[in-house]
Structure 1
Amino acid sequence: MSYQSSLWTRTLCASAIAFSLSSTALAADEFAVSAAQMQALGVKLQRLDKPASIPGMTYPARVVLPPSQEYVVSAPLAGVVDQLLVGQNEAVKPGQALLRLASPELGEQQLKLMEAASRNRLAQRTLQREKQLASEGIVPERRAQDAQNAAAEEQARVRQAEAALRLAGLDAASIRRVAEGNAMQDALVIRARAGGIVTELSIKPGQRVALSDPLVRVADTGKLWLDIQLPVERQSQVTARGGQVGIVGRDASAVTASLGSTVSDNQTIVLRAQVTRGAALLRPGEFVQAQVAFFGSGEGWPVPVAAVARQDGKAYVFVRTDKGFVATPVEVLDSAGQALRITGALRPGQEIAITSVIGLKAAWLGKGGGEKGE
């Protein structure tokens, strides 16, 4: 049998079933349909859960990294990149070594600390001696006070030298060893301030860098945003904060956080959403399709477009009963894509037909001569 003949046979069968259903009408809007007849017509049901928003249409969105989730490691001193210890797109932990920087300025700053620490030790010994002599009455009290002032100044110089090395990136243990007069470091190991992914390496081994030159960019992709390009006429149908957003083709979702205040040249407005699930499946800068949940006035039931039948300018859904279906009037609150949100005399737990609604409508109207007009 050819495809056309098979399709014609199925159409005749559906029409015959619909005609037989119309002859067994129970009430004005209720008609009998058996399980076998439902199967023959291909009727599928959807259980009503609770009123909710409808899945919105999909719109282009860009994955954005929040500014707080990214930082740039800059050169704390002028010098030469001695060695790179990480690679592009490599995950790093807080405190992990990123590179070694050889810098003459590092040696100068360490020397300043050693000299300041040496003078400080001498000033402290002088202070103790002057205090002892003053307590014995050998020297006047003013000499002890002058020694105390000198010791305080030397101690301040030590703290200043230590602070300069800390800003350069030298760790506390190395600073302490330098202050004690031990061997100085010939290169500075620059470490990650926080964990993340190395998104950019701006230097190569052997390259000379100046103070504050960017070296490495690190991003924590555990927190991401979506910048959704929403048509401006849809802005009144979305929840600007707390609305649900799905990401097509990804096991990820987001929640709306803010709605932009300006409209672009192509008449779209940015709806920003924060990714709450599946951030590891997304990459900053990529474009995805975001599905935004719409809402309208009042509460409604989300149903497929195919579930609603039209008759005499009114909308109906077919609610399953013990003996068949009842055509229930509804009001369409809003729509988006292949979804509608309706309200009417519906209750949680009821089942409505979502396929082969045309055949059920024919049975309800009494196809071929029912009471209701087309």
Structure 2
Amino acid sequence: MLYRFSRLALGRLAVFVFPCLIAAPLAAFAADEFSVSAAQMQSLGVQVQRLEKSDDSSGQTYSARVVLAPGQEQVVSAPLAGVIDQLLVAENDAVKAGQPLMRLISPELGELQLKLMEVDSSSRLSQKALQRERQLFSEGIIPERRVQEAEAAAAQDAARKRQAEVALRLAGLDSARIRSLTNGSNVESTVTVRAKAAGMVAELSVKPGQRVQQADMLLRIYNPGKLGLDIQIPSARTVQISGSKGAPIVVLGRSGVLGEALSMSPSVSDNQILTLKAAITKGAEQLRPGEIVQVQVPFAGASEGWSVPLQSVVRQGDKAYVFVRTDKGFVATPVAVLASAGQTMRVTGGLQAGQEIATASVIALKAAWQGKGGSN
């Protein structure tokens, strides 16, 4: 009975002694340095990675909506009340500045033209009356008051004429057509609506035969060459990204599409989201307003520190460490984590280019480090 117990006791003892025999050579040379032979590295499956200094600007990946850049959209409204006579463009058509978009039949246009012709005639008469009064005054026939009254009447008629011309210009008539009216040209009832700037027709809101009121929206035109991004970022992650103006933004899955950060929204939405606004600086022709894309926002401090695999960083209390290869084994080197995204961390600390850090079986190295006088 005693013999059987001794064998059982010896078996249990071997379970605890065997790992200690394996770890016996892992003797600490300093508080955070411990020995690991090449054979032990192979047995434990320890792998290392060489530190390379780079300007890597990789960071967090977020969803973003493609939007129009500020000031790159024009809404074309009805200049007068009337009926749509003819559409000259369709949605998604590219248009040039001044290009005709549609024709509108409006009775109000005839009234505006008639008013211009009336005030033009009145202005001509008041100018002739002013010349006559000035002549009579110079001959001493009439008092100066008569000249002043004629000047006031001529000025009023001239102002009414300018007002009538502005009204016709806002209605869509060009300067040549307005001048022709003052020379006795026929009155027209059709307004040609033209594009104020080049772009692409985004939305056509009317159809032929439809009646519209003044200022009703007819269509929208946007500039496809200048787009922006509204990047949705959880408020808890903003400390890990670089949201400063000018930070580079990469649109994933679209070769050569780049942007730069403009500003971060000052308030958080109900679902705890902040909006980082960015402008597309290259490759805007590959995007369309309204679509959802994935973008990469750089880490805060992306130009400093080291990009290391997530599994290479271990925690001990409130501190982070990486294991740096030495001639004798490894040394636990404290680092500060700047940011993390996916399977990558960006850290800073007492690291140098060319050093090798452990990237696999790091937990086994941590156990050896703690068991041999490392940090508690």
Structure 1 length normalisation: TM-score? 0.74
Alignment correspondent of 2:14: none
Deviation by residue 1:34-77 (Cα, 9 ceiling, x = unmatched): xxxxxxx9998674235x6x522312211122452222111110
Alignment correspondent of 2:342: 337
Residues of 2 paired with 1:143 and 1:335: CA distance?
87
Residues of 1 paired with 2:99 and 2:334: CA distance?
63
Structure 2, unmatched stretches of 5+, are 1-24, 26-32, 39-45
Residues of 2 paired with 1:311 and 1:117: CA distance?
87
Alignment of 1:46-85 (within 5 A): 47-49=52-54, 55-85=58-88
Alignment correspondent of 1:316: 323
- What is the RMSD of the two structures over their aligned residues, measured on CA atoms? 3.9
Secondary structure (helix, strand or coil) at the match of 1:57 reads: strand
Question: Which 10-residue stretch deviates more, 268-277 or 286-295?
Answer: 268-277
Residues of 1 paired with 2:106 and 2:193: CA distance?
12
Secondary structure (helix, strand or coil) at the match of 1:292 reads: strand
Amino acid at match of 2:322: A
Correspondence 1:97 to 2:122: no
Residues of 1 paired with 2:302 and 2:81: CA distance?
63
Structure number with larger C-alpha Rg:
2
Alignment of 1:9-88 (within 5 A): 47-49=52-54, 55-88=58-91
Are the counterparts in 1 of residues 73 and 220 from structure 2 also a CA contact under 8 Å?
yes
Residues of 2 paired with 1:318 and 1:85: CA distance?
73
Residues 1:43 and 1:343: Cα distance change in structure 2 (over 3 Å): closer
Residues 1:263 and 1:310: Cα distance change in structure 2 (over 3 Å): closer
Alignment correspondent of 2:295: 290
2:126 paired residue among 123, 126, 136:
123
Are the counterparts in 2 of residues 329 and 345 from structure 1 also a CA contact under 8 Å?
yes
1:259 paired residue among 256, 261, 264:
264
Are the counterparts in 2 of residues 330 and 342 from structure 1 also a CA contact under 8 Å?
no
Structure 1, unmatched stretches of 5+, are 1-21, 23-27, 34-40
Secondary structure (helix, strand or coil) at the match of 2:224 reads: coil
Residues of 1 paired with 2:188 and 2:144: CA distance?
43
Deviation by residue 1:135-168 (Cα, 9 ceiling, x = unmatched): 2233443333332222222212211111111221
Residues 1:73 and 1:44: Cα distance change in structure 2 (over 3 Å): same
Alignment of 1:227-266 (within 5 A): 227-242=230-245, 243-250=247-254, 251-266=256-271
Secondary structure (helix, strand or coil) at the match of 2:169 reads: helix
Are the counterparts in 1 of residues 49 and 359 from structure 2 also a CA contact under 8 Å?
no
Residues 1:295 and 1:149: Cα distance change in structure 2 (over 3 Å): closer
Secondary structure (helix, strand or coil) at the match of 1:229 reads: strand
Secondary structure (helix, strand or coil) at the match of 2:119 reads: helix
Are the counterparts in 1 of residues 198 and 223 from structure 2 also a CA contact under 8 Å?
yes
Are the counterparts in 1 of residues 69 and 279 from structure 2 also a CA contact under 8 Å?
no
Residues of 1 paired with 2:315 and 2:127: CA distance?
100
Amino acid at match of 2:335: E
- Percent identity for Structure 1 against Structure 2: 48
2:192 paired residue among 186, 189, 194:
189
Deviation by residue 1:226-275 (Cα, 9 ceiling, x = unmatched): 22221221122223322332211113222222223433444332222222
Aligned residues: 331
Secondary structure (helix, strand or coil) at the match of 1:68 reads: coil
Alignment correspondent of 1:6: none
Cα shift at 1:315:
0.8
Cα shift at 1:318:
5.6
Secondary structure (helix, strand or coil) at the match of 1:101 reads: strand
Alignment of 1:141-156 (within 5 A): 141-156=144-159
Deviation by residue 1:104-139 (Cα, 9 ceiling, x = unmatched): 111110111011111111221222122222222334
Amino acid at match of 1:256: A
Amino acid at match of 1:249: G
Amino acid at match of 1:238: I
Cα shift at 1:276:
2.3
